[in-house]
Chain A
Amino acid sequence: MLTNYIKIAWKVLLRHPFYTFITLFGITLTLTVLMVVTSFLDHLFGAHYPEEKRSRSLYIATLIQTDSANTTMSSGPASFEFLKKYAKTLKTAERVSVMNNFGFSNAYVNGKRIKLNTKYTDVEFWSVTDFEFLEGKPYDETNIRNADHVAVITDALRDQYFGFDGESVVGKTIDIENINYRVIGVVKGSPPTRVYTYSDVYFPYTAPKSNYEEKGMRGRFVAIVLAKNPADLPAIQAEFDSHIARIPRSEYSDNNRFNVLIVKADTYFDHFLSMFTRSDKDRIALYAIVGLVLLMIMGLPAVNLVNVNVSRILERASEIGVRKAFGAPAKALLWQFIIENIFITFIGGAFALILTFAVIQFINASGWIAYADLTINLPVFLISILVCLVFGLLSGVLPAFRMSRLKIAEALKV
């Protein structure tokens, strides 16, 4: 049955090379766009180096003080103290790491300035993330206690600062804004799109200029909470919420300006969304907009395909008449045409996959994002297949319905 349908679909494709070209061109382009977008979203939100444990991580990155009428609001990262008190103490978590949001600094090589991203972290940072050490090791509790001037740098900074000659740089010193740090480790760098872990150089949080002793709730720090397994996330969120609920109003009211404190431990994706949407209503609106845009991207070529299909019904009339005369129920015909469309879509999907692969290679190689690691991985591939299916259905159902309703006697006259 299926081979029979596919044989027909194939012949129909070959019969009209021009239509086939136009159709496949539309499908391929649409799917390529969707697949590159999917791959990019996966790059942003999926679990990738060095945050490979994102599926069991929660991010505490913003602290919002507001009043119940939402007239004034103040928001930003928390202080080290705050996170130490309310996040580090989570009993349901496996590990909690605190790091500063981001920072900039300069280093000089032969009088030339290198702009640097800096990050101050605790020791847990190195277990919550999955940095690959090319040489050396991370700093430990002793370094933290002694406030040692040590640093972990990326391979890119190593090459820039020391020049790449294959020689070990562990133990050498790097001068950053007139402070000498001893390099104790070199890690493979990560793309800047991993905003909470990306940096060029990492220091213990007790190193100079980290501001970890700043008083107050607000500061420059964020926390990543690692669960033993994803199923524990709700329990951790509940525990964290209860910690926050116990904070007395006097601590955040700021002379009675605020009476509401919102701090959430969110998954990376939720956290990202919450930057744009404050309420569930906003979120639904956002989903609606995204859905609409996706539907537009997929809908326009689909409508075009519907058009081509419908206008070619006549050509297939005799076949439909014959099949019905010999006992094909409307449902079987409906399926036949849907399967045909899905088949065509999948051919387009195969082209799109090749094209997407090329585009992704190009993006990765272009240096547009440093350390870009866009991939067509299994989830992206599965989503792409799903997208193909939806597209095939979208463009196939209506023509199929029209065709299966054709009256036999009429169909056989043509």
Chain B
Amino acid sequence: MIKLQNVEKVYRTSSIETLALNNINIDVKKGEFVSIMGPSGCGKSTLLNIIGLLDAPSKGQIEIDGSPVERYTDKHLAELRNRKLGFIFQSFHLINDLSVIDNVEIPLLYRNTSAKQRRELAQEALEKVGLSNRMKHFPKQLSGGQKQRVAIARAIVGKPEIILADEPTGNLDSAMGNEILGILQKLNTDGATIVMVTHDEAMAKKTDRLIRLFDGTQVS
């Protein structure tokens, strides 16, 4: 489903060059739940961003469903992100000025969906994460766990095939973290392909496959 070949990422600033990823080869199969682990600064977020088409690699190739994405235009990439990918971030990245339901609807704004349909799909997604009673709230009125569940609802509202999560439980206590993991596992059994960055060994053990990074290099 997602295939990375010889991917390399170099960050260049005026004074220093950082090799954040070095010769990465990954093949995520459809329906897999893959986790990425490694010490802080080893390149996990960078890797996930590249998988999610949020950032371009300096070298190497990415294929989605067998077709390389390097030739895609910005517009096409946007469409691909919209249709196929759903993101969950460690710091939630909810839009504070919008209500819960408006936040969840965001991915649907960029497709041909009627306002009524958007509302219905967003409600459905919020029900899946158990937050249908908080639709009119604003992010500031929610706890961390609730925010992350809103973020998950937003990631799944467009029914993407792939969910990418960067430390989704990093800002939550372990009970809340387990609950979030439970939701992700449920989504996975329902057919979603999931790639998750985590710091938590116990969580990683519950996934199908573990990729370990060390200093930008894949060690397993």
Contacts and interface: CB of A to CB of B under 8 A. Distances in A.
B98 interface: yes
19 contacts: A8-B98, A321-B93, A323-B106, A324-B54, A325-B81, A325-B87, A326-B86, A326-B110, A326-B154, A326-B158, A327-B80, A327-B82, A327-B110, A327-B158, A328-B109, A328-B110, A330-B75, A332-B109, A412-B93
A375 interface: no
Contact of B55 (A15, A323, A332, A409): A409
B97 A11 contact: yes
A324 B95 CA distance: 13
The residue in B54, B78, B94 that gathers the most chain A C-beta atoms within 10 A of its C-beta is B78
Contact of B107 (A11, A15, A327, A331): A327
Contact of B78 (A12, A319, A321, A327): A327
B127 to A, nearest CB: 20
Contacts of A325: 52, 54, 81, 87
Contact of A1 (B74, B109, B154): B109
A115 interface: no
A261 to B, nearest CB: 63
Interface string B104-131: 0111011100000000000000000000
A412 B107 CA distance: 16
B166 to A, nearest CB: 9
Interface residues of A, number: 25
Contacts of A318: 93, 95
A376 to B, nearest CB: 34
A326 B111 CA distance: 11
Interface string B91-102: 001110110001
Interface of A: 1, 4, 7-8, 11-12, 15, 318-319, 321-332, 407-409, 412
A327 to B, nearest CB: 2
B110 to A, nearest CB: 5
B49 interface: yes
B89 interface: yes
A159 B98 CA distance: 65
Contacts of A412: 54, 89, 93
Contacts of B83: 327
B170 to A, nearest CB: 14
Q: How large is the interface on B (under 10, 10 to 19, 20 to 34, 35 or more residues)?
A: 20 to 34
Given A327-B79, A327-B83, A322 B97 contact: no
Contacts of A15: 97
Interface of B: 49, 52, 54-55, 74-75, 78-83, 86-87, 89, 93-95, 97-98, 102, 105-107, 109-111, 154, 158
A322 B126 CA distance: 18
B107 A409 contact: no
A313 to B, nearest CB: 15
Contacts of A319: 95, 97
A165 to B, nearest CB: 67
Interface centre among B102, B105, B109 (most CB of A within 10 A): B109
Contact of B102 (A4, A322, A407): A4
A326 B98 contact: no
A322 B107 CA distance: 9
Contacts of B106: 322-323, 326
Contact of B81 (A4, A8, A12, A326): A326
A408 B110 contact: no
A330 B93 contact: no
A171 to B, nearest CB: 72
Contacts of A407: 55
Nearest to A323: B106
Given A412-B54, A412-B89, A330 B107 contact: no
Contacts of A7: 97-98, 102
Contact of A329 (B49, B52, B74): B74
Contacts of B95: 8, 318-319, 322
A330 B74 contact: yes
A23 B130 CA distance: 42
Given A327-B110, A330-B78, A412-B93, 16 more contacts: A4-B98, A4-B109, A7-B97, A318-B93, A323-B110, A324-B81, A326-B86, A326-B154, A327-B79, A327-B80, A327-B83, A327-B107, A327-B111, A329-B79, A407-B55, A409-B55
Nearest to A336: B109
B93 A322 contact: yes
A407 B56 CA distance: 10
Contacts of B87: 325-326
Nearest to A321: B93
A326 B158 CA distance: 9
A316 B74 CA distance: 21
A193 B172 CA distance: 74
Contact of A12 (B74, B82, B97, B158): B97
B97 A326 contact: no
Contacts of B109: 1, 4, 328, 332
